[in-house]
Amino acid sequence: MHHYYYYYYYYKLLFSFLPCNPDGESLTTCTKASQVSGVRVQLEMQALWQQFDQLGTEMIVTKAGRRMFPTFQVRIAGMDPSADYVLLMDFIQIDDKRYRYAFHSSSWLMAGQADVAAPSRMHFHPDSPARGAQWMKQTVSFDTLKLTNNLLDDNGHMILNSMHRYQPRFHVVYADPAPNSYLNANRNFCSFAFPETQFMAVTAYQNHRITQLKIASNPFAKGFRTPDPLTVWVVWNSTVF
Amino acid sequence: MHHYYYYYYYYKLLFSFLPCNPDGESLTTCTKASQVSGVRVQLEMQALWQQFDQLGTEMIVTKAGRRMFPTFQVRIAGMDPSADYVLLMDFIQIDDKRYRYAFHSSSWLMAGQADVAAPSRMHFHPDSPARGAQWMKQTVSFDTLKLTNNLLDDNGHMILNSMHRYQPRFHVVYADPAPNSYLNANRNFCSFAFPETQFMAVTAYQNHRITQLKIASNPFAKGFRTPDPLTVWVVWNSTVF
DNA sequence: TAGTTCGCACCTAGGTGAAAACGT
DNA sequence: ACGTTTTCACCTAGGTGCGAACTA
């Protein structure tokens, strides 16, 4: 429990007004504090994200909570090295639709209006708050973030509706030490959304090509990889002799 | 990097003046701030610590860093639930002696004066700073703390001299939000030392009974346990038929 | 039927002491 | 001799998709 949690609901409200801007740039253009106005954010593993995005990324949600893969990771530049920042993520539903997967056409179809929205939460990066110098030193990874479909979750996981589409967002909040700093709250943050990180929440993979790409690229799924032809050839010949 | 790290060397100096008090009570009696004056700390797994202590606890130190076992864990009461605290540990050499183990008599013997003292460090609990309510909610565990004999360690591990005796200490620091709070530094903390957690730093276990107790009680050493007679009997009979 | 849950085999990642190799 | 370092088999702990069972 840190002081900045006081601002939880304040920032949550602020963020809710942001447009779902798909250009990966700062979502707002109003005057910003110098500590955040120059912040630049670059998505890591962008090529992998794009591979998934081309197939239509799916993310598993479970009752106990499931990690995202690919993991949301960013490189940050342009912070004030000596200022304190809080880094966090949230997820916004991209549209008010529910989807279903048509296996015969291997595509997603709209299937009516969205269910009641899941309780919206924010996920603070566990190193928050930390100085700009610390954040910029190396890649910032949200690998501990988990997705759940349990509306009553009390593990602090992100609650999403299965069969709905989401856009992850990333927020950089300057921890202003000034008294009554909440008055500057709308000047003290900047937000980023990378369109290639959009995904469909599912309880089981629908698109087989997504499953195969997960198996091929996630180290924890190595057990499901079929050995490549060269490996098969080597093993075959070495067991024969 | 948090603000309270500014006080690192200030508190390090303060702590260096504390006596090595073996009664597990607060080490100082001078007037304390209300946020720390009522703090009570109870050692977890005390029975296990005492078992080890009776044999003469040994802790492995390695170049890469080794965890302690038993882990230093405490339950805390009497904090101000809404005040912020920083929790940390350090290790003080119990005497200025170097030791060696006499296998024939299964006992430790003094073997001259202590080597040059290893660089003294403090280990902040990674959840610091946090509110009293958060710390008191559940056991506070220092399971990520590691011991090393590498004088040039740059992983933030605790540096100890092998074949020297140490007393772990636990410090509760009130994160005073007042300006110039360092002026109150000596009033804003309290310290605890549990004599049953004293140990000898070693690079390899000397006392075989310590080794056996580690194997019997540390889950990660289960691979070295000899199956107990009942299990042997059951397995024997179930494989025969 | 369409979607969710659960147990499972198979991984990654890393914490153990044993024992051999290495210093001094 | 005595103490340290390194490698290793064997664990714990927990992240994977699979497939059967379950639910409405």
Q: Could B130 and A1 be called an inter-chain contact, meaning their C-beta atoms sit closer than 8 Å?
A: yes
Question: What is chain A's pLDDT, residue by residue, as a tens digit (241 residues)?
Answer: 344 455 677 677 777 777 655 444 444 455 888 899 999 999 999 999 999 999 999 999 999 999 999 999 999 999 999 999 999 999 999 999 999 999 999 999 999 999 998 888 999 998 888 899 999 999 999 999 999 999 999 999 999 999 999 999 999 999 888 777 777 778 888 999 999 999 999 999 999 999 999 999 999 999 999 866 555 555 455 443 3
Q: Could B2 and A129 be called an inter-chain contact, meaning their C-beta atoms sit closer than 8 Å?
A: yes
Q: Is the CB of B223 under 7 A from strand D?
A: yes
pTM for this predicted structure: 0.83
Q: Which residues of A touch B131 (CB under 8 A)?
A: 1
- Predicted confidence at residue B7, as pLDDT, reads 65
The number of beta carbons lying within 10 Å of the beta carbon of residue A8 is 13
- Predicted confidence at residue B9, as pLDDT, reads 72
Nearest chain B alpha carbon to A84: B2
By the 8 A CB rule, do A189 and A23 touch?
A: no
A2 lies within 8 A of chain B by CB: yes
**How far does A185 lie from chain B, in Å, by closest CA?**
21
DSSP 3-state of B119 = coil
**How far does B81 lie from chain A, in Å, by closest CA?**
11
Distance between CA atoms of residues A76 and A87, nearest Å? 11
Give residue-wise pLDDT tens across range B16-74. Answer: 777 655 444 444 555 888 899 999 999 999 999 999 999 999 999 999 999 999 999 99
Distance between CA atoms of residues B97 and B8, nearest Å? 28
- Predicted confidence at residue B239, as pLDDT, reads 42
Distance between CA atoms of residues B18 and A217, nearest Å? 54
- Predicted confidence at residue A241, as pLDDT, reads 34
> Which regions in chain B score pLDDT beneath 50?
1-4, 22-27, 235-241
Provide the mean pLDDT of chain B.
Answer: 87
Measuring from the CA of residue B222 to each C1', which nucleotide is nearest?
Answer: D11
Q: Could B3 and A130 be called an inter-chain contact, meaning their C-beta atoms sit closer than 8 Å?
A: no
Read out DSSP for B34-54?
Answer: HHHHT-EEEETTHHHHHHHHH
- Predicted confidence at residue A159, as pLDDT, reads 98
B128 lies within 8 A of chain A by CB: no
Q: Could A130 and B84 be called an inter-chain contact, meaning their C-beta atoms sit closer than 8 Å?
A: no
Bases on strand C under 7 Å from any protein CB:
2-6, 9-20
- Predicted confidence at residue A182, as pLDDT, reads 74
DSSP 3-state of B147 = strand
Q: Could B131 and A84 be called an inter-chain contact, meaning their C-beta atoms sit closer than 8 Å?
A: no
- Predicted confidence at residue A228, as pLDDT, reads 65
Distance between CA atoms of residues B106 and B210, nearest Å? 11
- Predicted confidence at residue A178, as pLDDT, reads 79
Q: Is the CB of A215 under 7 A from strand D?
A: yes
Give residue-wise pLDDT tens across range A33-70. Answer: 889 999 999 999 999 999 999 999 999 999 999 999 99
- The C-alpha angle with vertex B200 and arms to B197 and B205, in degrees rounded to 5, equals 115
